[in-house]
Structures are given as C-alpha cells and as structure tokens.
Structure 1
C-alpha cells in the first residue's frame, strides 16, 4: 500500500549550480547547505507528496521554468571528485550478500540520473511523410486533442504505426522548461538553420577538425533542455579531434526556437530532420553519418534508431537509455497527459527494441546506478538481436561521457566502409 505522507521519504535533488545529486532527510527541507562539489549555497527543496503528483499532472497552470545554468550543456568533469571515487569503489571484503544488496539500493537512490537530468536540472531524409500528426501552437495553456486508444499494448503492431496514430495530448503549449543564456558562436564554427515540420531551428556546424574534402560526420545531441557553448567547445572535442564534421542541433522550443516542448516526441522528428539536412551538405560523406548524445540528448539519439529513412549508419548515447519510469521522476516538467500510456511508451526505446531500424550502442557509467535496471530490461528484451548494444563504461553520469565518446569513435571506425 502506498503511503500518503512523505515524512519518512528522503528528498532527492541536484545542486542547481553543478548538478551534483543529493539525498537528504525530509526533516531538513527548507534549510541551506553548502554543495560539496562547487561550494555554492543551495536550498533543500520540500518533498513532493503523492497527492501532489496527481495535482501536478492535471493542473491547468504551466510548470515553472527551470533556472538558468552557467553551462546549460552537460559539464564535462575531467577528473572524479573524492566522493565519486568512493561511490565507484567496490564494497570492502567481508561484507555479506545482504550488505551488498543494501549498498546497491542506496547507491541507486543517490545517483539516479533521471532526477539529475530532468527534474532539478538547470539543466535525418525527415520522413517523406511526417510520422506524427502535429499542429502549431494556437492556445496558451491546456491542449486537448483526440488521442489514440491504447493500441501500443499490442506489441505486434509496429512502433512507427503506433506512433503515426498518436496525436499527443499536451497539458501546456510552451517552450523548453530550461531557460538558456545567449552565447557567441565560437570562432571557426558556423551557425546554421534547418527546417523540421515547418519550424526553423538553430544548429552549429564545426568543421575545424576535418581532414578530407568529404568528411565523416557526427550529429551531436546535447544534454539537458537547452544548448550552451560548452556543448560545442568541450563535449564535441573528441569527435572534432578525430577528424569529424560535428553538427550540434537544437530542437523545438529550445534556445528561442519556435515550437512546443514535447519531451522525446516532436524533438525526435527534429533530430531526424537535422540528420537529413547535414547529409545534403557538399562537405559531408553521406555514407558515414552517425549520431551521439549525452543524457537527454542520448535519449533522443536512442529514439532515432526507431525512425525510418534517417541517413545514419549508427546511433549512440551516453547515459541516455531511458525507461518509461523516467517520466514519473520528471513529473514537474512532463508536458503531456500521462494517463494515456501510449504517450509514455512511444517515448522510450525500451519496450520497442524489436522495431529498431538503425543499430544503437548505449554506454552506461558503472556508477550511473539509475540506469542499471534499464540494462537488464534491454538485455532481456533484445533476446539475441544485435541492433542494440549496451556497454558499461567506468564513471558516473558525467565522468563516463568522454570515455564513452572515445569508445564510440573507435566502434564506428571499425565498421566496414561502403564501396
């Protein structure tokens, strides 16, 4: 039986400055503490009670926007803190199996990346026919559209058919929940625009590392819900240094773009459109286009593997293999009505692996514990299929990113080249 009070439940939240995850006793709600990672003062939020979740899900008021961060994109941490090393270390010898299980459960709660990247984060030819029916924004708040029956329960119905029959029911028509900070395009990088379902969206193309007239290309999807300069300068460095053209697109509702925040639905259409746009550029080897993303961007990259007619060889992600349960962790920012389970199921690769169109390789940090149950689900689901590869990489949700990107480069370089 679910308890109606949260008095005994811990408060899970992230530092709004550096995104370090915390698990604090509920009786400390409202107090201040100094972040152990960045030394900034932060307020401990109040816990959300179970009855409040339903109110959030049905409230006509739009959710508050997340505060801006100095670096909206994932901050790449060059070395682990002492706390990270403790969390990543093995359990001392002499502990029995019960202690092992308890330690893993506690670690899962502490390091859950779902809260890290959403709730408190300050944080490619498009189909010949659009896969989903969608309308442009026309009302300020409640949007009620006819939704499909729960056809997605029928697992024999292909993913793309189920997706085509869904008209999303948005609670709010508004942009991304994360505010953004304008930045100057780095020297040597070109700012461009691409079109997706009638929307003009921003992207940045970095050709500083190219070595050939027509170069292999990575379409990189940033973490969080807004792009920052660090996505272009730091996150993409491994791909740029390896000689790839790198495209960093934004999607609908981000960084001043038109369109509504849909959370892993229309944004995936935009990602496909970005891939199609870059494939037409004369400096790109159209037979060697790949995608990669971190965190939320990894989730978008993973969902691209379910789309058809996207001109990419392979998709990849770091900390982005999200299950349906993620949306319950992100209740404060979920823009759609969760009572229709189709809305959840069509936004996750897990549960739809059999319908993959393009291979995907998902890297998960060894101490990114929130994804470890997802690994088991994915391995159980693929049942010998090789369209989805899941590999653990040393590190947490952030420190595993750079080694994951390097492993992905090595992986795609090993793929056979087309004649």
Structure 2
C-alpha cells in the first residue's frame, strides 16, 4: 500500500449537504420498533437494494495513515482492510477501541482524530467498510456495514495483546451512527460512544435520495437503519454526544436516551461545546473517561 502522511480534506459540499439534511431529522422520525430487539430484527430482515455499487463518497485507494499497521479482516465472503495502532508487546492485555470514521470514505484526518484514544493507552482499530476506498462489496447505507463493524471487532479482540473483555466502540458522524447500531446488535462491547451520530435516518435521507440504494418510500428499510427506533436494544452502557451547535442532533439523541433509560439501560445523551468537528476533542475526552469507568 502507498504511504500517505498528509490528511485528505473532506469535500466541503458533501459534508455541507450531510449536515443540512441531518438538520431536518428532528422534524420526522421513523416508526419506532417499540420493545423489539434490533439484533433479532436483523436476523429476520434482508435489505432490498435497488442498485449495487461502491460508496457514494470518493475515497483514495491505498491510503495508509502514519503510525498505523495494516491488517485484513473477513466479513462474510469479503476481505477488508483495517488500520491498527501498534499493540504493546509487554506481556499484558490492553483495552481497545474500535473507532469508526465519519463520512462514507476514509481519509488520513480520520486516523488523526483517534490520537487522544491512542495517547490514553487504548489500542485503536479503524476499519474500512464494504465499498469504501476501493474495498470490495456493495454500499448499503448503514445496514450491511454493521456486519463489517462486528467482524472488525472480532478481529480486534483476537489480536495478541488486546484484552477482549475491555473492547469499546466509538465513531464520528456516520461512524457514530454505526457505533450505535453495533452496540444494539452485539454484546462484544463493554461500552459505546457516538460522536454526532444520527439516531434517525428519515431526516438524513431528505435531499440526499441520490445516495440511498434502497426505496426511500420503504419505511421498514429506514427503520432498520435508525438506532433511535430501537432505543431499548442497547447491549452496553452508551453515551450519545453532540455539539451545542448541532441542534438537529439534540432532540433525537435525547429522545433515544430517554426511552433507553426508561427501559433500565445506562444510556445518556450529552451535549459538549462546539459544532460537528470542534466538539470532537471534548467528546473524545469524555469517551475516554467513560470507557475507563466501564
């Protein structure tokens, strides 16, 4: 793989479109699957894609962040790439965080975002998902990608020197949404955090129908991609962080946390100072404290 040492900036138009459409999410919520377990629902649901292809966001092929090791992991019949920070070979077991990047493609700036986690002593893995950055597989918009996340978690847990009993999941933006869905699907994680993830995909889709590979009129397809619809399914303590300048996340994040708490789950929505990006450092520091406490 080609070594890349500089961060690749996000497409401003792509990110702006994502943020604008996310702002609509507080106006419309997908049908709630009251009392239903997300993992069980995934076992009986199969997404119906109207078109098959790669991620809608262009991503550089062969990108390798500085200081990361390249590993492969299998998700079904796909062989995918992930980046992992060096695991100390000191004979001890170390806690690890599966961190999911924002957007629908990986960039060097995503890896730099995880620096606080690595400096805090966590082994960090960041997987590339199906259809991203030249990876095989078909982009499905927050659904089959969850299988990749769980497969990457399994690969991380099996690395020599990683403490599988102290495995955590986190992510930013798109990755934050996937972190929530993963925490609702698997008991592999000791705790989970979402940094500006979207609990509701109905609002996300508005104005971005061109990137959605399934029928946007199919409410079930949308519900199966919306963590807020399965708020009672979290299988580990979870925190939903959002910036004080992100009002479009506030209502749905708090609603999700309230429904989970009512069911007796340790789930909270917490605002931190800043916007979609400037809120990340504080959210990461709070994530670190949260992970250390669990």
TM-score by length of 1: 0.61
Distance of 1:391 and 1:73 partners within structure 2: 28
Are 1:176 and 2:114 matched, yes or no? no
Partner residue in 1 for 2:9: 71
Are 1:282 and 2:160 matched, yes or no? yes
Partner residue in 2 for 1:101: none
SS at match of 1:305: helix
Partner residue in 1 for 2:92: 213
In the alignment, is the contact (CA less than 8 A) between 1:73 and 1:223 conserved in 2? no
Partner residue in 2 for 1:197: 76
Partner residue in 1 for 2:27: none
- Structure label with greater radius of gyration: 1
CA deviation profile, 1:228-259 (whole Å, cap 9, x unmatched): 12222x11100111111110101111111111
Partner residue in 1 for 2:133: 255
In the alignment, is the contact (CA less than 8 A) between 2:94 and 2:122 conserved in 1? yes
Distance of 1:287 and 1:383 partners within structure 2: 24
Distance of 1:225 and 1:190 partners within structure 2: 21
Partner residue in 1 for 2:278: 399
Unaligned runs of 5+ in 1: 1-68, 75-109, 118-151
CA deviation profile, 1:62-104 (whole Å, cap 9, x unmatched): xxxxxxx932499xxxxxxxxxxxxxxxxxxxxxxxxxxxxxx
Are 1:319 and 2:196 matched, yes or no? yes
Partner residue in 1 for 2:19: 113
Q: Flag the 1:230–1:376 CA change in 2: closer, same or farther, 3 A.
A: closer
SS at match of 1:332: helix
Distance of 1:111 and 1:371 partners within structure 2: 15
Distance of 1:177 and 1:168 partners within structure 2: 18
Are 1:301 and 2:179 matched, yes or no? yes
Are 1:185 and 2:59 matched, yes or no? no
Q: Flag the 1:267–1:114 CA change in 2: closer, same or farther, 3 A.
A: farther
Structure 1 segments of 4+ aligned residues over 4 angstroms from their partners: 208-212
Distance of 1:373 and 1:329 partners within structure 2: 20
Query: 1:224: how far off?
Result: 0.4
Query: 1:167: how far off?
Result: 1.8
Q: Flag the 1:312–1:380 CA change in 2: closer, same or farther, 3 A.
A: closer
In the alignment, is the contact (CA less than 8 A) between 2:36 and 2:233 conserved in 1? no
TM-score by length of 2: 0.85
Q: Flag the 1:399–1:327 CA change in 2: closer, same or farther, 3 A.
A: same
SS at match of 1:269: helix
In the alignment, is the contact (CA less than 8 A) between 2:81 and 2:135 conserved in 1? yes
In the alignment, is the contact (CA less than 8 A) between 1:218 and 1:292 conserved in 2? yes
SS at match of 2:40: helix
Distance of 2:289 and 2:63 partners within structure 1: 32
Query: 1:311: how far off?
Result: 2.0
Partner residue in 2 for 1:231: 110
In the alignment, is the contact (CA less than 8 A) between 1:196 and 1:273 conserved in 2? yes
Distance of 1:405 and 1:215 partners within structure 2: 19
Q: Flag the 1:371–1:212 CA change in 2: closer, same or farther, 3 A.
A: farther
2:234 to 349, 356, 366: 356
Distance of 1:365 and 1:153 partners within structure 2: 25
Distance of 2:11 and 2:282 partners within structure 1: 17
In the alignment, is the contact (CA less than 8 A) between 2:93 and 2:163 conserved in 1? yes
Which one has more relative contact order, counting CA pairs under 8 Å at least 6 apart?
2
In the alignment, is the contact (CA less than 8 A) between 2:100 and 2:172 conserved in 1? yes
Q: Decide which structure has greater helix share.
A: 2
Partner residue in 2 for 1:272: 150
Are 1:412 and 2:294 matched, yes or no? no
